[in-house]
Structure 1
Amino acid sequence: MSLSFERTQTVAILGGGPGGYEAAIAAAQLGAEVTLVERAGVGGSAVITDVVPSKTLIATADAAVAIAGASDLGVELFARTDDGRPLRPQVAVNIAAVNKRVLSLARQQSDDMRAALVEAGVRIISGQGRLDGDSAVIVSTEQGGIDFDRVEADTLVVSVGASPRELASARPDGERILTWKQLYDMKALPKHLIVVGSGVTGAEFASAYMNLGSEVTLISSRDQVLPGEDPDAAAVLEKVFKRGGMTLLSKARADSVVNTGEGVVVTLADGRTVEGSHCLMAVGAVPNTAGIGLEEAGVQLTDSGHIRVNRVARTSVPNIYAAGDCTTFVPLASVASMQGRTAVFHALGDVVIPLERRRIAANIFTAPEIATVGWQEHDIAGGVIDGVVRKLPLSANPRAKMQGIKDGFVKVIARQGSGTVIGGVIVGPRASELIYPLAIAVERRLTVDQVSRVFAVYPSLSASITDATRAMHIVDRSDDAPAP
């Protein structure tokens, strides 16, 4: 669709991550003249150093687990000596080769995205950009800021992302004290990786390196991993972590991390110390909003530096929009993409559906994965919404039995009375794929009866969703209702 304007609309986008990329594509499709400014490469840190690399690493860890667990399904791997005697080989992970593949795939994805922008007619400028008031972007296109480019535009979209938060008492050195961006330079698998922080990033990397063969200690300042997530899901993950040999230190706060040359020493707030070979600091992220002219342009920021946006990604300045982790909205790549499209649709007068947090599907790429959408059980327990919950263990699912899946569940949350699906949690392999039917149900306000009438393949993991919704069947028991 191309909108009709008296003159061609101009759009300048600062940051080429998921939000900026989608904004550029959408604006070009609507007939605007689009310029994208990106310093690291198209795709931003999400593609080059964050989401794509980490999930590629996790895919390798999943493969290692599948091989190691194959004997449970009757598949046995042997090598033979010269005299014909069988030897059981060990699963070994070449982390240097893994990281080379990880970074290669990330760069390939970035190149593919760049090619798509060029094909769409988007002008790409490589360099460090900042706002010049509310209608232009200035870009330093050479190292040291020698050469400058100024781009004027009717609409500005800021999608500059975020960087790993650093603590003064645990400065990353790229050798033994690491951020998630620095993990891919390692030539050998960490003998003992200490992960500080049990949020999504910490849990994902702790899971991955445990399954790759490292000894892992996870330090959590809270009483469970993944604080704020579904407690049942967190309990499953903790059980899997402990079964895999991971050490979990709950209610433990790291005060400092020191590189001893041969390893690291993490000192906890209670005086205890933990020694390992490497330490991953996963203590949150800081928006990349400092020094890029936002305040001077009149854009409102929070005390943490995040850009305040509304449900159509608009800032306090009418023609300036923002998307992604630099904003006050949900920090997910999928959300950044949707924000980027929504911003452009709103700015250029296309049809807009304001974003709603309760319809966002999210996934944590641990093993097993944890996927959520909509209202959660704690919202019902807290009296925020009147709902009912049905939880079915995956171990009862025939396909799960065939695949040797022992951990996980499907949880469906529906509104009391009407039976409208308002949320859900799935814990299990490929939960990121399995959550989609529940996300559609939440988005389209389907009832549990409507979902239960959809044919699910037998046998399949997705059949657990229909099983759960069938168990929530609503029967009218009023006096006027016909007898069953």
Structure 2
Amino acid sequence: MTFDYDLIVVGAGSGGARAARVAASHGAKVAIAEEFRVGGTCVIRGCVPKKLYVLASRFRDEFEDATGFGWRVGDVAFDWPTLVAAKEKEITRLSGFYEAALASSGVELIRARATLTDPNSVRFANGRTARARYILIATGGAPVLAPHIPGIELGVSSNEIFDLPEFPQRLLIVGGGYIAVEFASVFARLGAKVRLAYRADLPLRGFDDDLRSRLADALKTAGVEHRAGVLPTRITKGAAGLEVEMSDGASLTVDCVLVATGRRPLTQNLGLEAVGVNLRENGAVAVDAHSRASVESIYAVGDVTDRVNLTPVAIREGQAFADSVFGETPTTINYEHTPSAVFTTPEIGTVGLTECEALARHGALDIYEAQFRPLRATLSGRAERVYMKLIVDNSNGRVLGAHILGPEAGEMAQLVAIALRMGATKSDFDATMAVHPTMAEELVTMRAPSRLLRPQA
């Protein structure tokens, strides 16, 4: 059997681009197909533009706090088109960087949608066909506009929210996940009246409950109106904006509805099922520990597999795939102790088990907590609190989880993850010298547990 390529990658996001470049470095002939812009969700419509908007929103606090430190700040105003244009310039630069990196690695970029026609063949939207020894699916995920209610199509997803032609003075966000709370935090600080509607009693299901409750309070302080347990039932277009009927009987008039109720793997119309690839109920490609699908020649990495949907995970999976298949170095990914951050203000950084998870798996726990005003707030007068929590196995002292709410929490979680991955104990934390004055020093100065938890009989 003859092949045009050793590898065809479908999707030029973080995972696919890394896999293509590493496979090429191992001597493989590689092509990568992308129907949109090179860089994927993270670069174009996810992590990067979102963090830029987060940083933009935090200047409001900076201007307000400066007075307490002796600065005289004049009138300030925010201009939405300027931010949108600056964001577009930066992601265009990053996309070009990705393209250049692929080219310098010897990877052929095919700007067209790719559909599988058999386990080793691909048809591109431009009419071209090609055969490859291996095919890697790295198409990521896409927002889901749910719940399915009349008028939901009038809302926007996280794809469109970055490029609204006008700033939404009145914004309803539907959903309680990290995308929903991040945009609630951003737009409230940029000056919008934000309402956050979600099914549960608290946002961020799956995170530690102490973080969830404290973040909810912080968002309320920032002006975000919570509608817990309430969802829209109908959306219509009216003379004054979008008219939204809510499940509690209330009626809202808003400029924009952001539907942030989840994402799904982007596997539709790729020909996967026709060539024998098994998909999970939500459309994710079912893969083994080596990212191989049910068809021997087909692999998948990143959000399209719905394992751990984070950009660094997709990159690591792409690297492992290429090293395993083309570098003759069989590699699997250990997903334990994967840190994550939620870029609200205040920020969340977390790694390891939540309190509920640890109690179910390990039995008795020692819980260490610290709450304090950051030094900055002492002069600014802002009602801001930092919260830190360590979950420790009572039987051996091993730190099972670390959860932080406050400035630069994501930066701290990245470093704490190294310690947890190495099996650090609470005594290791205690023996580590503090850096003073910092917020992070609290992680090594908590001496007495705030409570002891035991599983209920």
* Separation of aligned partners in 2, 1:184 and 1:292: 27
The one-character-per-residue Cα deviations of 1:346-393 (angstroms, maximum 9, x if unpaired) are: 223544553233321111111011111111111133355554321212
Q: CA deviation at 1:8?
A: 12
User: Do structure 1's residue 123 and structure 2's residue 88 form an aligned pair?
Assistant: no
The aligned amino acid for 1:152 is R
The match for 2:84 among 92, 99, 122 is 99
Are the counterparts in 2 of residues 379 and 385 from structure 1 also a CA contact under 8 Å? Answer: no
The match for 2:47 among 45, 51, 54 is 51
Partner of 2:268: 290
Partner of 1:392: 370
Partner of 1:150: 129
Are the counterparts in 2 of residues 319 and 347 from structure 1 also a CA contact under 8 Å? Answer: no
* Separation of aligned partners in 2, 1:171 and 1:114: 39
User: Do structure 1's residue 249 and structure 2's residue 227 form an aligned pair?
Assistant: yes
The match for 2:176 among 198, 214, 220 is 198
Partner of 2:93: 108
Partner of 1:26: 22
Cα separation, partners in 2 of 1:417 and 1:432, compared to 1, 3 Å? same
The one-character-per-residue Cα deviations of 1:30-63 (angstroms, maximum 9, x if unpaired) are: 2222211111121123211222212211110012
* Separation of aligned partners in 2, 1:130 and 1:362: 33
* Separation of aligned partners in 2, 1:415 and 1:354: 27
The aligned amino acid for 1:420 is R
Are the counterparts in 2 of residues 155 and 347 from structure 1 also a CA contact under 8 Å? Answer: no
Secondary structure class of the residue paired with 1:309:
coil
Q: CA deviation at 1:190?
A: 1.3
User: Do structure 1's residue 169 and structure 2's residue 152 form an aligned pair?
Assistant: no
Secondary structure class of the residue paired with 1:117:
helix
Secondary structure class of the residue paired with 1:446:
coil
Are the counterparts in 2 of residues 309 and 328 from structure 1 also a CA contact under 8 Å? Answer: no
Extract unaligned runs of 5+ from structure 2: 450-457
Q: CA deviation at 1:398?
A: 5.3
Are the counterparts in 2 of residues 394 and 410 from structure 1 also a CA contact under 8 Å? Answer: no
Extract unaligned runs of 5+ from structure 1: 1-6, 79-88, 142-147, 473-484
Cα separation, partners in 2 of 1:355 and 1:182, compared to 1, 3 Å? same
Identity of aligned residues (%): 27
The match for 1:230 among 208, 221, 239 is 208
* Separation of aligned partners in 2, 1:312 and 1:423: 27
Cα separation, partners in 2 of 1:337 and 1:247, compared to 1, 3 Å? same
The aligned amino acid for 1:329 is R
Secondary structure class of the residue paired with 1:465:
helix
User: Do structure 1's residue 419 and structure 2's residue 419 form an aligned pair?
Assistant: no
The match for 1:344 among 301, 310, 322 is 322
* Separation of aligned partners in 2, 1:456 and 1:22: 37
The aligned amino acid for 1:212 is L
The aligned amino acid for 2:109 is I
Secondary structure class of the residue paired with 1:359:
coil
Q: CA deviation at 1:194?
A: 0.7
Are the counterparts in 2 of residues 103 and 184 from structure 1 also a CA contact under 8 Å? Answer: no
Partner of 2:452: none
Q: CA deviation at 1:422?
A: 2.4
The one-character-per-residue Cα deviations of 1:401-442 (angstroms, maximum 9, x if unpaired) are: 578683222212233332222221111112111102211012
Q: Judge which range, 203-212 or 322-331, deviates more.
A: 322-331
* Separation of aligned partners in 2, 1:170 and 1:431: 39
* Separation of aligned partners in 2, 1:317 and 1:402: 62
Partner of 1:39: 35
Are the counterparts in 2 of residues 195 and 219 from structure 1 also a CA contact under 8 Å? Answer: yes
Q: CA deviation at 1:471?
A: 5.0
Q: TM-score under structure 2 normalisation?
A: 0.90
The aligned amino acid for 1:157 is L
The match for 2:67 among 62, 65, 71 is 71
Secondary structure class of the residue paired with 1:69:
helix
* Separation of aligned partners in 2, 1:405 and 1:20: 44
User: Do structure 1's residue 376 and structure 2's residue 332 form an aligned pair?
Assistant: no
User: Do structure 1's residue 429 and structure 2's residue 425 form an aligned pair?
Assistant: no
The one-character-per-residue Cα deviations of 1:213-271 (angstroms, maximum 9, x if unpaired) are: 11111111110111221111112211112112221100112222222243112212233
* Separation of aligned partners in 2, 1:446 and 1:313: 30
Partner of 1:84: none
User: Do structure 1's residue 334 and structure 2's residue 294 form an aligned pair?
Assistant: no
Cα separation, partners in 2 of 1:200 and 1:248, compared to 1, 3 Å? same
The match for 2:7 among 7, 11, 17 is 11
* Separation of aligned partners in 1, 2:383 and 2:225: 23
Q: Judge which range, 347-356 or 180-189, deviates more.
A: 347-356
Cα separation, partners in 2 of 1:71 and 1:418, compared to 1, 3 Å? same
Q: CA deviation at 1:193?
A: 0.6
* Separation of aligned partners in 2, 1:274 and 1:61: 25
Cα separation, partners in 2 of 1:402 and 1:455, compared to 1, 3 Å? farther
The aligned amino acid for 1:29 is S
* Separation of aligned partners in 2, 1:388 and 1:356: 26
Secondary structure class of the residue paired with 1:318:
coil
* Separation of aligned partners in 2, 1:298 and 1:23: 23
The one-character-per-residue Cα deviations of 1:296-352 (angstroms, maximum 9, x if unpaired) are: 222111121111123332222233221122113011112211121122222235445
Are the counterparts in 2 of residues 96 and 186 from structure 1 also a CA contact under 8 Å? Answer: no
Runs of at least 4 residues of structure 1 off by over 6 A? 402-405
The match for 2:301 among 298, 313, 323 is 323
Q: TM-score under structure 1 normalisation?
A: 0.86
Secondary structure class of the residue paired with 2:139:
coil
* Separation of aligned partners in 1, 2:269 and 2:34: 16
Q: Judge which range, 419-428 or 14-23, deviates more.
A: 419-428
Aligned-residue RMSD, C-alpha: 2.4
Secondary structure class of the residue paired with 2:428:
helix
* Separation of aligned partners in 2, 1:445 and 1:400: 34
